[in-house]
Amino acid sequence: MELRHLHVVLTVAEAGSISRAASSLKIAQAGLTAQLRRIERGFGGPLFLRRSDGVELTELGRHVVLRSRDLVERFDDLMVTARRLAAQNGGAGVRLGGVAGAPTPLLVDVVRDMLPNQPRTTHVERSCDAVLDLVRSGKLDVGLVVEFPQSPLRIPEEVASRSLVTEPMLVGIAAGHRLSGRSEIRLSELADEDWAVPDENYGGGRVNLHLACEAAGFTPRCVHFGVDPVTAAELVRSGHTVACFFPTGRELPGVVLKPVVGSPVHRRVMLVWRRDGAAAEYVEELHTRLLRAYQDCVRGQSRAPKLAAAAEFTAAAS
């Protein structure tokens, strides 16, 4: 018998039915039924009476549930205190992560300054779901993910989140582009351009771009798929492609980033951590420092004053 088996029993007892418990555990009902039978064999008798409208605890089941709750709570407390002690004593250090294109380098810099004696590792993933799963499983302490309005993230119960900033999309064009002299660009003016777009798993960015372009009267001609910001910048510099960037992106020689009139596409950058993890002890200070670093970064960009003002506004409003 393992601790995960006790979690299964408690979930079924709290749900009151196998179908609802299967949905909560994200497994097939048939699989849960078979697993429950094996657990009952291990305890030596049935834990639940099956009825047409759900399940009811047997006397043995009530005993197991009562004792299991105590064991699970004590184990959870053990994990929290052990992780906290490991963090205080160095342990595995601070494990940071983020989705490609998020301001993860800022997170690394802030944590280095805030916890100078802690070793650090950083993992960059191609999808927000991957980052969230690593945080949920305890393989990352803190992460940065992005969320687009039409594509809300599914954040696991074990993971806490806090909005850092809402950023407007910028369009990257070649320095010699016909619109490079503008302070802002209308999305409709890019109807005849080739686009480089991120991976479909990247927080819904591609979907939201399509919706914004269709609202502007055209379907974007996407020809380069699954590109990261560095690759996108190289394609843009060639003079035959445009792409989406965000305020903390660094301008490369031959590439300029322009705000889009009305900011039709924007994303929310979110700080995520495991609720019972060591990061919960310092996440408030981390959020404050990270927001300040973000504002300093955007103010320091050599772009039009209007862009800096917009970024300050969205940061203050998050």
Spell out the domains of the chain, with CATH numbers in brackets: 3-87 (1.10.10.10), 92-318 (3.40.190.290)
Using pLDDT thresholds of 50, 70 and 90, give the confidence band for residue 111: very high
CA distances from 63 to 54, 68, 266 (A): 19, 8, 53
pLDDT grade, residue 298 (50/70/90)? confident
Mean local confidence (pLDDT), 259-267: 93
Tens of pLDDT, residue by residue over 186-214, are: 999 999 999 999 877 666 788 899 999 99
Residue 284 has pLDDT above 80, yes or no: yes
pLDDT of residue 83: 63
pLDDT of residue 93: 80
pLDDT for res 4: 83
In the numeric block, which tokens belong to residue 154? 């599914």
- Between CA 135 and CA 272 the distance in angstroms is 8
User: Pick the residue with more confidence: 116 or 251?
Assistant: 116
- List, for residues 9-56, the tens digit of each pLDDT value: 999 998 898 888 888 887 888 888 998 999 999 999 999 998 888 889
Cβ neighbours for 318, distance < 8 A, ≥ 6 positions apart: 163, 164, 165, 166, 268, 291
Asked if 301 and 194 touch (Cβ cutoff 8 Å), the reply is: no
The whole-angstrom separation of Cα 92 and Cα 95 is: 8
Q: What is the separation, in whole angstroms, between the first and last Cα of the chain?
A: 46
Q: CA-to-CA distance for 193 and 240, rounded, in angstroms?
A: 8
127-153, pLDDT tens digit by residue?
A: 899 999 999 998 999 999 999 988 889
